[in-house]
Structure 1
Amino acid sequence: MGGPYNSFLDLAKERFSLRRFSDRPVEDPVLLRCAEAARLAPSACNGQPWRMFMANRKEVTEPLGDVAFGGTYGMNSFAQKAPALVVVASSPLPWTARIGQFIGGVPFAPCDAAVATEHFVLQAQSEGLGSCWIGFFNFNGVARFLNLDRGLRPLFILALGYPPEGLTPPKRSRKPLEDLAKLL
């Protein structure tokens, strides 16, 4: 895990959802490079309707994890052991994108945030980190914990860290390419 990669396809093939992490901390410069990759992601009308809140210190990750993954959301409690947690929130769209969203019926803000999140995840993979993208957590509790403005809405949490020594990546099953993509 962790490259070097000869191609983007090699990077994409190696990435999987990591649910066990070593104790090695995720350094600030690594998180910032991942955030830079996310910043460069395309978005409708260049609105960049997302914000990322990155925590890599136990005094933040532990209480955030307790809020996010307690009770009903306990199926994702593995994420509480991650050395870093990244909350991705959507923010309001610029008026041009709001008009396009209204006419086309496509929810641009979460789509754009998802593209940025995937840029973050793939940069993390290239840095030797593993990640797990989580969409089931206490949204309201996390918003309160982070004291988010009314216009910001938590969408995803990334559990992020280095894989433990000797980890064997799981076998993945994917649908055949011809079931998912057609040349016209």
Structure 2
Amino acid sequence: MPYVDFLAIAQARYSLRRYDPRPVPREVLERCLEAARLAPSACNGQPWRFFVADREPMRGRLAEAAFGGPYRMNSFAAKAPVLVVVVSTPLPWTARIGQFIGGVPFAPCDAAVATEHLILQGASEGVGSCWLGFFNFKAVGSLLNLPGDLRPLFMVAMGYPPEGLGVPERVRRPAEEVWTFLQE
């Protein structure tokens, strides 16, 4: 089975902070969400929900709740045609036991993997994005009327890049600082 060149997608993807105003078609968003749904998770717990605002007035209300006051540094995201709120849901008991024993917070880790699937599928479709971890969690949770066991973790701003915007140069640490092959 042939696959798309994943490394090329990873190399081309960057945090987009300016958006063309045209909408992202629902079928494109659904493929991105399907990629997220298929992500692996501890004990197959799938501790995530994705709330998508791609139409007014909800998209504007979500942007207003998320990016006011001290969160204005991310107000560029209010211009994105799509805002996605990634919410953590409770883990199954097997994953909670593993989390307790190992001390690793599985739910946010799993939700992060699913979010990256969403973002990379978007990149493969020509949709840019910016992963946001700094927004008004409380106001967003309130707007979405989330029960106490659900918690916003991340937001993703999505949309098409403006005409003529190229991939910016990115600085990455050299490979020898990032990975090590273990020897006997």
TM-score range, shorter chain: over 0.9
Match of 2:71 among 59, 70, 73: 73
Residue number among 127, 130, 138 corresponding to 1:129 in the alignment: 127
What letter is aligned with 1:121? I
Counterpart code for 1:50? W
Q: Distance in 2 between matches of 1:38 and 1:169?
A: 24
SS of the counterpart of 2:167? coil
Q: List aligned pairs for 1:34-53, cutoff 5 A.
A: 34-53=32-51
Give the alignment partner of residue 163 of structure 2, picking from 162, 165, 168: 165
* Percent of aligned positions that are identical: 66
Secondary structure of 2:84's match?
A: strand
Question: 1:177 corresponds to which residue?
Answer: 175
TM-score by length of 1: 0.96
1:181 and 1:110 map into 2 onto residues whose CA distance is: 24
Counterpart Cα distance in 1 of 2:4 and 2:141: 40
* CA contact 1:139–1:154 (8 Å) conserved in 2: yes
Task: Give, as a single letter, the amino acid of the residue that structure 2 aligns with 1:47.
Answer: G
TM-score normalised to structure 2 length: 0.96
Aligned residue pairs total 180
Q: What secondary structure is seen at the aligned counterpart in 1 of 2:9?
A: helix
In 1: Cα distance, 2:159 partner to 2:147 partner: 28
Deviations 1:115-173 (A, max 9, x none): 00000000000111000000000000000001112111000000000000000221100
The residue type paired with residue 167 of structure 1 is L
2:104 — aligned with what?
106
CA distance in structure 1 between the partners assigned to 2:147 and 2:49 by the alignment:
11
Distance 2:56 2:73 in 1: 21
1:24 corresponds to: 22
Give the conservation status (yes or no) of the 8 Å contact 1:41–1:115.
yes
Measure, in 1, the Cα distance between the counterparts of 2:51 and 2:82. Answer: 10
Find the partner of 1:13 among 8, 11, 14: 11
Q: Distance in 1 between the 2:175 and 2:68 partners?
A: 38
Distance 2:35 2:160 in 1: 19
- In the alignment, structure 2 segments of 5+ residues that lack a partner are none
After the TM superposition, which segments of 4 or more aligned residues of structure 1 sit over 6 Å from their partners? Answer: none
Q: Distance in 1 between matches of 2:169 and 2:133?
A: 22
**Counterpart secondary structure, 2:40:** coil
Cα–Cα, structure 1 residues 60 and 100, in superposed 2: closer, same or farther, change >3 Å?
same
| RMSD of Structure 2 on Structure 1 (CA) | 1.0
What is the Cα deviation at residue 58 of structure 1?
2.3
Q: The residue matched to 1:58 in structure 2 has which SS?
A: coil
CA distance in 1, matches of 2:153, 2:141: 10
